[in-house]
Structure 1
């Protein structure tokens, strides 16, 4: 008589069914805007908008380009990629000058790119930024 194929128990099937949706959610949440894939910083200079949009001592998030620009009290501009250094998620929340990643809760200082709250341990990538003809232009670091 041939051997019967192994049949998983009811308990094994229920455990597997419970784990699959949870694992799928983690992967989906780690992409840009919660979708699959990794976010990307600009690879070429991009015009972000009017220079006056970023007041002294504040920051502005440009979600469409994965860039945050801050202006110091002295008028100087700084720009950083808003691709989280923990899992590559697009950061989509700016509270004052604090960036908050939607995937795992990492927080960064928009003025310095420094990590304020883990799980990220590496600062944001600094980008080049300048004001040209009243417009803010940011791109990869030179």
Structure 2
């Protein structure tokens, strides 16, 4: 049986160089600046109800929540953890949420995807106006 050729030094070095590059690529898909599980697990007072105007939205980065108010005054809240790669969304332009990781866009009024790569809408969270304060999260 013929002997199997051993890997050259060059082949070994190329493989070693590829490992950190692959790890870097995976790190780019992780949630920068926070954990993807940072959405409220208990009711959170987000601030004055008057901070969200009719037809508008406000992003609460510290809680990974966006709150919008429909024209009829109804409040809606959504998690701002991107459904594509679990990155915290940190930009709101008008009523469009923009994920800086891969460019997914969501409608802050409905949570629906308006631009891929995300395909799943943002999860809705319970929200209410409690004595002039916006309270969002489980059991709100």
State TM-score, norm by structure 1.
Answer: 0.83
> Superposition RMSD on alpha carbons, in Å?
2.4
| Length, aligned pairs only | 137
Structure 1 equivalent of residue 122 of structure 2? 124
1:85 corresponds to which of 83, 87, 102:
83
Q: In the alignment, is residue 114 of structure 1 matched against residue 101 of structure 2?
A: no
| Alignment of structure 1 residues 25-104 onto 2, 5 Å | 25-32=24-31, 34-35=32-33, 37-104=35-102
1:35 Cα deviation from its structure 2 partner: 4.6
SS of structure 1 residue aligned to 2:83: coil
CA distance in 2: counterparts of 1:96 and 1:47, whole angstroms: 23
CA distance in 2: counterparts of 1:93 and 1:141, whole angstroms: 27
Gaps of 5+ in 2: 1-5
| Alignment of structure 1 residues 7-18 onto 2, 5 Å | 8-10=8-10, 12-14=12-14, 16-17=16-17
Contact in 2 for aligned 1:39/1:89 (Cα 8 Å): no
CA distance in 2: counterparts of 1:75 and 1:97, whole angstroms: 15
State TM-score, norm by structure 2.
Answer: 0.84
Q: In the alignment, is residue 24 of structure 1 matched against residue 26 of structure 2?
A: no
SS of structure 1 residue aligned to 2:23: helix
> Structure 1 residues 35, 25: CA separation in 2 closer, same or farther (over 3 Å shift)?
farther
Contact in 1 for aligned 2:127/2:135 (Cα 8 Å): yes
1:120 Cα deviation from its structure 2 partner: 1.0
Gaps of 5+ in 1: 1-5
